[in-house]
Amino acid sequence: MYLLTIKDGLGTRHIGPYPSPKHASDDLDRVLGSCSERARWQIHALETPDRARAFHSVAS
């Protein structure tokens, strides 16, 4: 799952989840229509609890 993060001025919005980065980018034009021209965006992959736990046990 993926999350679209929009930073606009002092505010941050999180939109999603989306099943793929392509779905998030396809929705980007709609979301940016309500933002200022200076808004910045990122697409983040969400970790499942099992995946995050496995990463932390390997890193320890």
pLDDT in tens, 26-39: 999 899 998 999 99
Tell me which residue range forms the domain holding 35: 2-59
pTM of the model as a whole: 0.68
Position 55 scores a pLDDT of 52
Whether 42 shows a pLDDT value over 70: the answer reads: yes
Report the domain count for the chain.
1
* Residue, of 56 and 17, whose pLDDT is higher: 17
Q: How far apart are CA 1 and CA 47, in angstroms?
A: 8
Cβ neighbours for 20, distance < 8 A, ≥ 6 positions apart: 2
Q: Using pLDDT thresholds of 50, 70 and 90, give the confidence band for residue 50.
A: low
